[in-house]
Structure 1
Amino acid sequence: MNGGGKVVCVTGASGYIASWIVKLLLLRGYTVRATVRNPSDPAKTEHLLALDGAKERLKLFKADLLEECSFEQAIEGCDAVFHTASPVKYIVTDPQTELIDPAVKGTLNVLNTCKKTSSVKRVILTSSTAAVLVRKPPLEPNDVVDETFFSDPSVCTELKLWYPLSKTLAENAAWQFSKDNGTDMVVIIPGFVIGPLLQPTLNFSAGFIVDMINGKNPFNATYYRFVDVRDVALAHVKALETPSANGRYIIDGPSMTINDIKKTIRELFPDLYIAETNGESEMKEIMTKEIIYKVSVEKVKNLGVEFTPLESCFRDTIISLKENCLL
Structure 2
Amino acid sequence: MSAEGKVVCVTGASGCIASWLVKLLLDRGYTVHATVRSIDDPNKTEHLLALDGAKERLSLFEANLTAEGSFDSAVNGCICVFHTASPVLFSVDNPQAQLLDPAVKGTLNVLKSAAKVQSLKRVVLTSSMSTVTFGPRLAESGDVVDETWFSDPLFCQQKKLWYQLSKTLAEDAAVKFAKDNGLDLVAINPGFVIGPILQPTLNHTSEAIMSLIKNGKDVIPDGIYRLVDVRDVATAHVLAFENPDANGRCCIVGKVVRSLEIMKTVNKLYPSLGHSERCKDGECVEPTPYSVSRAKAESLGVNFTPMEVSIKDTVESFKKKNLLSF
Distance in 2, matches of 1:94 and 1:275, equals 41
Greater CA drift, 230-239 or 129-138: 129-138
Residue 204 to residue 243, structure 1, CA distance change in 2 (3 Å) = same
Q: Which residue of 2 aligns with 1:146?
A: 146
Does 2:313 correspond to 1:316? yes
Greater CA drift, 107-116 or 205-214: 205-214
Letter of the 2:36 counterpart: V
Q: Which residue of 1 aligns with 2:285?
A: none
Greater CA drift, 135-144 or 176-185: 135-144
Does 2:244 correspond to 1:243? yes
Shift of 1:120: 1.1
Q: Which residue of 1 aligns with 2:281?
A: none
- SS of 2:272's equivalent? coil
Residue 7 to residue 293, structure 1, CA distance change in 2 (3 Å) = same
- SS of 2:97's equivalent? helix
Q: Which residue of 2 aligns with 1:4?
A: 4
Distance in 2, matches of 1:16 and 1:205, equals 9
Shift of 1:325: 1.7
Q: Which digits, 9 at most, give the CA deviation of each residue in 1:195-254, with x for residues without a partner?
A: 000000001111121111223111232322210000000000001111111111100022
Q: Which consecutive residues of structure 2, in runs of 5 or more, have no partner in the other structure?
A: 279-287
Q: Which residue of 1 aligns with 2:128?
A: 128
Letter of the 1:318 counterpart: V
Letter of the 1:48 counterpart: L
Whether contact under 8 Å (2:141, 2:289) holds in the other structure is: yes
1:8-157 to structure 2, matched below 5 A, reads 8-157=8-157
Greater CA drift, 48-57 or 138-147: 138-147
Letter of the 1:47 counterpart: H
Shift of 1:123: 0.2
Letter of the 1:183 counterpart: L
Q: Which residue of 2 aligns with 1:304?
A: 301
Number of equivalent positions = 314
Letter of the 2:219 counterpart: P
Provide the alpha-carbon RMSD of the alignment.
Answer: 1.4
Q: Which residue of 1 aligns with 2:284?
A: none
Q: Which residue of 2 aligns with 1:285?
A: none
Shift of 1:301: 0.3
Distance in 2, matches of 1:220 and 1:154, equals 21
Distance in 2, matches of 1:142 and 1:267, equals 28
Whether contact under 8 Å (1:153, 1:165) holds in the other structure is: yes
Whether contact under 8 Å (1:133, 1:150) holds in the other structure is: yes
Shift of 1:11: 0.1
Greater CA drift, 176-185 or 291-300: 291-300
Q: Which digits, 9 at most, give the CA deviation of each residue in 1:36-64, with x for residues without a partner?
A: 00011000000000000000000000000
Shift of 1:84: 0.2
Greater CA drift, 208-217 or 136-145: 136-145
Q: Which digits, 9 at most, give the CA deviation of each residue in 1:4-34, with x for residues without a partner?
A: 1100000000000000000000000000000
1:98-247 to structure 2, matched below 5 A, reads 98-213=98-213, 214-247=215-248
Structure 2-normalised TM-score? 0.94
Distance in 1, matches of 2:84 and 2:182, equals 21
- 4+ runs of 1 displaced by more than 3 Å? 273-277
Letter of the 2:155 counterpart: V
Residue 140 to residue 257, structure 1, CA distance change in 2 (3 Å) = closer
Q: Which digits, 9 at most, give the CA deviation of each residue in 1:147-172, with x for residues without a partner?
A: 11110000000000000000000000
Whether contact under 8 Å (2:216, 2:263) holds in the other structure is: no
- SS of 1:256's equivalent? strand
Shift of 1:276: 7.2
Whether contact under 8 Å (1:215, 1:276) holds in the other structure is: no
Distance in 2, matches of 1:45 and 1:309, equals 30
Residue 303 to residue 104, structure 1, CA distance change in 2 (3 Å) = same
- SS of 1:82's equivalent? strand
Whether contact under 8 Å (2:254, 2:305) holds in the other structure is: no
Shift of 1:259: 1.5
